[in-house]
Amino acid sequence: RRKRGTFPDPDRRVFINPDVCEGCGDCGVQSNCVSILPLETEFGRKRAIDQSSCNKDYSCLKGFCPSFVTLEGAEVRARPRQDLALPDLPAPPLPAIRGTYNIVVTGVGGTGVVTIGALLAMAAHLEGKGAGVMEMAGLAQKGGAVHIHCRIAGKPADISAIRVAVGEADALIGGDLVVSAGTKTLGLLTRGRSRAVVNSHEIVTGQFTRDRGFRLPTDRLTLALRARLGDAGLVMLDATRLAEVLTGDAVHANVLMLGAAWQSGLVPLGEEAILRAIEINGADPEGNKRAFALGRWAVLHAAAAAEAAAPPAPPRAADLDTIIARRADHLAKYQDARLARRYRDRIARARELDEDFASAMARGYHKLLAYKDEYEVARLHSETLRAAVDAQFASVRAMRFHLAPPILGGLDADRRPKKREFGPWMLGLLGLLARMKRLRGTALDPFGRTAERRLERALIAEYEADMDRVQAGLAPETRDIAIELASLPLEIRGFGPVKARAAEQAAGRRRELLEAFEAGGWPRVVAAE
């Protein structure tokens, strides 16, 4: 309704400053929202908001994190897109309807997959055909698995049931790889009868909101589809990436998939009726008609489409010298040159023993030394926030901050420190606070006596003692244990109660690793004869 202008659209957007974000995932836990995407950075995996799919319920603000700001009057900058001139696209032969032609559409709720079922039904109606569409069991909530069952017949009387039974699907339009390769969907497909066009893009699922390190088992899911359909029965393309590159917005991905399915001969409806259905739907008709044509082009020119959808080349893995230099530079900005030297000296001693151990320590030790206290959050917001916002938005009228200053106290309904909203004036105060970083750790530090600050200082001292202990007894049998122990601080992410919980979990793993190290390695498993 917002897209059609029939429902108020709040003039407020949520933005995450990636420099402040710890990647703890608490925002996803609190909101269960798949518009929170992973963002890979030099300092680990962070979070970002997908502005195209954000439904503006603002539940992510419940996450205990100072990286969130809300922007008023913000317009998302148009993404750069390739201006592709489409060649003539020959129409495919349409499949015959024998009784009913059964289409299953899969995807993730909140991404427009339900619209595909509506377009198919309207196009069938426009051609005088019968159509029955069912959204399975109300599962079309944002982030949930969606199955749309659509039966198309020559006349309405030919449709006796709408739900597609086991093995009866003639076509699968898969907007999401996870749902498409799930047991529920595979059971509807039959080799030789069923054919599919599936979006290969790794779309974030609800699992990511609960497991911050979750990654899709893409190869296994693709193998399951090929095993059921055979190579000839499956077409895969990265529709999400193509939509981003060629239309400037991933929201067009599902209509692009519809175009690809139609060109592959999986839809028994004419192009004219489908395009008219897109116009009647009323949501960005020109953009969606363009997406439909691009889907057709992607099937006819698969190699060119694959090249267009290819992600940017990943940056070359940094060597250890670069890793150390970047983190030492960060520590100098964080505090001073003295802290940077302390870091460099300790990593240099570790490097004399083992390069991989030193690499793990370079990341882990930096994570502990550069803990994000009030001074650092203030510095990062005051130095990097405006540039990060300007890169994604235009015409920002005001920024509001969502913070839980310890000096104000108070608990929320979940017994966590209460977050409060602060106006644009807070940015000036943060700049002043950033310049007070010299007080960090001194007797004059007003924040230094909180439980969180004491924990962070204790973790540094504990880590340094552990590394001294490990380096004194490092051996080939304990090398892997030492590397994991050196990397363990990377698991201690977040702020306040989130960080405290992560530290407690890491402490348990630390005890296990130290016990194994002192025992000379992990116990060997001896196979029974």
Whether the pLDDT of residue 202 is over 90: the answer is no
The residue type found at 344 is: R
Lowest mean pLDDT among 110-114, 284-288, 427-431: 110-114
- What fold, for 100-300? Pyruvate-ferredoxin Oxidoreductase; domain 3 (3.40.920)
Gap between the Cα atoms of 324 and 318, Å rounded: 10
Gap between the Cα atoms of 153 and 399, Å rounded: 54
Answer yes or no: are the C-beta atoms of 492 and 506 closer than 8 Å. yes
Greater confidence (37 vs 65) lies with: 65
pLDDT in tens, 290-306: 999 999 999 999 999 99
Q: Where in the chain is CATH 3.40.920.10?
A: 100-300
Angle at 46 between CA 43 and CA 52, to 5 degrees: 140
pLDDT in tens, 488-505: 999 999 999 999 999 999
Whether the pLDDT of residue 126 is over 70: the answer is yes
The residue type found at 418 is: K
pLDDT in tens, 368-399: 999 999 999 999 999 999 999 999 998 899 99
pLDDT of the residue at 210: 60
Neighbouring C-alpha atoms within 13 Å toward the C-beta of 500: 11
**3-state SS, residue 205:** coil
Place of tokens 């502005």: 51
Banded pLDDT at 138 (limits 50, 70, 90)? very low
pLDDT in tens, 59-79: 999 999 999 999 999 998 877
Average pLDDT over residues 28-36: 86
Neighbouring C-alpha atoms within 13 Å toward the C-beta of 303: 0
* Residue 21 φ then ψ, to 5°: -55, 140
Whether the pLDDT of residue 23 is over 90: the answer is yes
pLDDT of the residue at 139: 43
Answer yes or no: are the C-beta atoms of 442 and 448 closer than 8 Å. yes
Gap between the Cα atoms of 33 and 25, Å rounded: 11
Banded pLDDT at 143 (limits 50, 70, 90)? low
Gap between the Cα atoms of 449 and 276, Å rounded: 67
Gap between the Cα atoms of 9 and 5, Å rounded: 8
Lowest mean pLDDT among 79-93, 121-135, 445-459: 79-93
Gap between the Cα atoms of 178 and 217, Å rounded: 9
pLDDT in tens, 327-363: 999 999 999 999 999 999 999 999 999 999 999 999 9
Of 319, 317, 321, 337, the closest CA to residue 329 belongs to: 337
Burial class (CB in 10 A: 0-12, 13-18, 19+), 8: exposed
pLDDT of the residue at 140: 44
Banded pLDDT at 97 (limits 50, 70, 90)? very high
Greater confidence (32 vs 426) lies with: 426
Strands 234-237 and 195-199, sheet pairing: parallel
Of 157, 172, 168, 156, the closest CA to residue 121 belongs to: 156
Whether the pLDDT of residue 3 is over 50: the answer is yes
Residues 6+ apart with CB under 8 A from 265: 92, 93, 94, 95, 195
Place of tokens 């090249």: 307
Lowest mean pLDDT among 81-85, 287-291, 442-446, 524-528: 524-528
| H or E stretch covering 100 | strand 100-108
| H or E stretch covering 505 | helix 496-518
Q: Where are the beta strands (DSSP E) in 376-478?
A: 393-394, 398-403, 420-422
Gap between the Cα atoms of 235 and 305, Å rounded: 13
Whether the pLDDT of residue 121 is over 90: the answer is yes
Q: Where are the beta strands (DSSP E) in 385-524?
A: 393-394, 398-403, 420-422
Q: What is the mean pLDDT of the chain?
A: 90
pLDDT of the residue at 107: 85
Gap between the Cα atoms of 16 and 381, Å rounded: 11
Gap between the Cα atoms of 145 and 155, Å rounded: 30
Whether the pLDDT of residue 528 is over 60: the answer is no
Q: What's the whole-model pTM score?
A: 0.81
pLDDT in tens, 462-479: 999 999 999 999 999 999
Answer yes or no: are the C-beta atoms of 308 and 242 closer than 8 Å. yes
Which neighbouring-strand residues pair with 15?
A: 69
Greater confidence (526 vs 439) lies with: 439
Answer yes or no: are the C-beta atoms of 179 and 146 closer than 8 Å. yes
Average pLDDT over residues 129-139: 76
